[in-house]
Amino acid sequence: MILIAGLGNPGARHARNRHNIGFMAIEAIAAAQRIGPFRSRFQGLVADGTLGATRAALLMPQTFMNESGRSVGEAMRFYKLGLASVIVVHDELDLAPAKARVKVGGGNAGHNGLRSITAHIGNDYKRLRLGIGHPGDKTLVYPFVLGDFSKEEMRWVDVICEATARAADLLASGEDARFQNKVHLAVEAAGFGGKAPE
């Protein structure tokens, strides 16, 4: 059993924010893998199903980003999971748009959602980092992440979320390199190769 938590802020006005790409990825996984419906639980929305041969719970915390750890910690305790069975999907300023990287642990790079989760459950959980790029100036980060993706940007967002959804069984079974490669190839095939992983 694994828990995949996508990060974002609840409510219609945040739905297309760059900070909400984690929610977008979870929704894409649920749709592609026919997991659902979502129900209110663990201070979030959760849906149980399978990804390949792995039982999985998909979680979207509804606590607002800065308190994401409360929801993730509650779900983790309910399912009796260790850190190795938790995957957090989030926006990453330090990756170019349309790049996807999987890593375990590491710094939180000022990401308040990750900071909250680390405070509640520890740091050595797996992260799926989805690149959104950087506005180029530290003072612009807050409005940038809380701003909506443009119509043009949504083209690559849809591609990377769909690619993530189709390869989610590899992520669930711990085949991180194969997962990254499959997502990279899908992004490249869609014409966003210049922004995709090397």
Tell me what pLDDT residue 147 has. Answer: 97
CB atoms within 10 A of CB 18: 22
What digits encode the pLDDT tens for the residues 25-55?
A: 999 999 999 999 999 999 999 999 999 999 9
Tell me what pLDDT residue 110 has. Answer: 83
Q: How many domains does the structure of the chain reveal?
A: 1
CATH of the domain at 7: 3.40.50.1470
Tell me what pLDDT residue 185 has. Answer: 96
Residues acting as catalytic residues: 19
Spans of the chain below 70 pLDDT: 193-198
The residue range of the domain holding 77 is 2-195
Tell me what pLDDT residue 194 has. Answer: 57
Instruction: Spell out the SS3 assignment of the chain.
Output: CEEEEECCCCCHHHCCEHHHHHHHHHHHHHHHCCCCCCEEECCEEEEEEEECCEEEEEEEECCCHHHHHHHHHHHHHHCCCCHHHEEEEEEECCCCCCCEEEEECCCCCCCHHHHHHHHHHCCCCEEEEEECCCCCCHHHHHHHHCCECCHHHHHHHHHHHHHHHHCHHHHHCCCHHHHHHHHHHHHHHHHHHHHCCC
Tell me what pLDDT residue 60 has. Answer: 98
